[in-house]
């Protein structure tokens, strides 16, 4: 049983969907429990044959009734393992499993999906939840982080897990892959010339994503265009050549039209799906030195300090106008490194080893 806050198309949600669908294909029977209703990934999971239920909670609103529904589901379905994916789901799973009377029979896994969050930028509810997770971090049998930086940051927050593992995200390299023909078609639809360098930035508008630094950097490279993808970005297209597309369900198609993938996060990133998916699509990566970005990019792109618009602009300018043969080599290296190190198969195998250990 997987327990997660919601099923919108975020990084943790996408990873859960990939894992549950891969296990379904391999013959396993997983159930996904969402604290809140809806979400674009719910339909995708159900279409793949994965059982999905929700607890009817409202985002940001604790609910005793929702916890009792989760307790009842655990009692009725008797899962072999309960795995939760984000802070609110971690606490909900821990207490519902304990109240179900099945804690001794059922191992519990918590998930860490971010790194050094600047909690002052968020509400009291999230700050309280993170403190509670640190306090009760001895309850799960294992804590699994998707980044080395994330595990380190949470140990510094006061997490004291019985056991811990780092399991890298898995990237769907069949969905995210270079496609020059599709890229040409997509540029034509968006009204972008075929010869202009195009930067992709895939992130909701949120303090940790630091769109302010990104936009300041892009003002210094006016001969490069920008594709902004993510909830709230439709309001950021303040200049010609900046395309604010909002939340989209065709990110892989949009990436095929681009040359660079940029992550401008100021803090909080663990393993950036957007960065790795861009690299799998054959894009050269530029990222701030946050989370495991440097480990993901390796020698294929550039790492710059966070909140430094001049350094970000310099890296974008240099990579956007590199010699064609050097740029082509970088794109090949980016794609190859994702295929070899961060495949869905490797992610599945790592989780299967954890499940076997706990079971």
pLDDT in tens, 279-303: 999 999 999 999 999 999 999 999 9
* DSSP 8-state assignment for residue 253: H
CATH 3.40.50.2000 fits 180-341, yes or no: yes
Per-residue model confidence (pLDDT) at position 238: 87
Give the residues of the chain that fall short of pLDDT 50.
Answer: none
Name the CA radius of gyration of the chain, rounded.
21
Q: How many CA atoms lie within 13 A of 332 on its CB side?
A: 6
Ranges of each domain in the chain: 2-170+343-358, 180-341
**Bridge-based pairing state of the strands 108-112 and 82-84:** parallel
How distant, in Å, are the alpha carbons of 47, 78, 132, 269, 312 from that of 104?
Answer: 33, 12, 22, 34, 51
pLDDT in tens, 213-271: 999 999 999 999 999 999 999 999 889 999 999 999 999 999 999 999 999 999 999 99
Helical residues (DSSP H) of the chain, grouped into ranges: 11-25, 40-47, 64-77, 87-100, 124-135, 148-157, 180-190, 211-219, 251-255, 273-280, 293-297, 309-320, 324-341, 344-358
Structural element, H or E, at residue 229 = strand 225-229
Per-residue model confidence (pLDDT) at position 135: 97
Q: By the 8 A CB rule, do 62 and 29 touch?
A: no
Phi, psi of 131 (to 5 degrees): -60, -40
Instruction: For the domain covering 2-170+343-358, report its CATH number.
Output: 3.40.50.2000
Closest CA to 163 of 129, 131, 139: 139
Structural element, H or E, at residue 343 = none
Per-residue model confidence (pLDDT) at position 9: 83
Per-residue model confidence (pLDDT) at position 226: 98
Q: How many CA atoms lie within 13 A of 37 on its CB side?
A: 3
Domains 2-170+343-358 and 180-341 share a fold: yes
Name the one residue in this structure whose structure tokens are 């896994």. Answer: 109
Mean pLDDT of the chain: 96
């Amino acid at each position: 049983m997987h327990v997660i806050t919601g099923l919108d198309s975020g990084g943790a949600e996408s990873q859960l969907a990939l894992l549950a669908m891969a296990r379904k294909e391999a013959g396993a029977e997983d159930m996904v429990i969402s604290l809140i209703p809806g979400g674009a990934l719910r339909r995708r999971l159900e279409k793949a044959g994965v059982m999905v239920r929700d607890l009817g909670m409202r985002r940001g609103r604790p609910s005793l009734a929702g916890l009792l529904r989760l307790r009842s589901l655990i009692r009725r379905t008797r899962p072999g393992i309960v795995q939760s994916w984000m802070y609110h789901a971690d606490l909900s799973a821990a207490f519902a499993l304990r109240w179900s009377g099945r804690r001794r029979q059922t191992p519990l896994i918590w998930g860490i999906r971010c790194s050094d969050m600047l909690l002052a930028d968020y509400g009291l509810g999230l700050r309280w939840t993170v403190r509670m997770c640190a306090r009760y971090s001895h309850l799960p049998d294992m804590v699994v982080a998707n980044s080395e930086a994330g595990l380190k940051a949470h140990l510094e927050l006061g997490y004291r897990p019985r056991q811990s593992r780092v399991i890298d995200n898995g990237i769907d390299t069949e969905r995210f892959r270079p496609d020059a023909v599709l890229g040409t078609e997509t540029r034509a639809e968006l009204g972008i010339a075929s010869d202009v360098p195009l930067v992709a930035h895939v992130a909701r508008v949120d303090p940790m994503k630091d769109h302010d630094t990104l936009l300041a950097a892009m003002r210094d490279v006016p001969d490069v265009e920008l594709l902004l993808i993510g909830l709230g970005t439709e309001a950021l297209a303040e200049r010609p050549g900046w395309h604010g597309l909002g939340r989209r369900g065709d990110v892989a198609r949009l990436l095929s039209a681009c040359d660079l993938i940029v992550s401008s996060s100021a803090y909080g990133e663990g393993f950036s799906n957007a960065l790795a998916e861009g690299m799998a699509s054959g894009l050269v990566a530029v990222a701030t030195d946050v989370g495991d970005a440097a480990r993901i990019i390796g020698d294929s792109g550039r790492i710059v300090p966070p909140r430094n618009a001049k350094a970000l602009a310099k890296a974008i300018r240099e990579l956007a106008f590199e010699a064609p043969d050097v740029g082509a080599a970088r794109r090949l290296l980016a794609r190859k490194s994702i295929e070899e190190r961060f495949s869905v198969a490797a992610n599945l195998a790592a989780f299967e080893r954890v499940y076997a250990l706990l079971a």
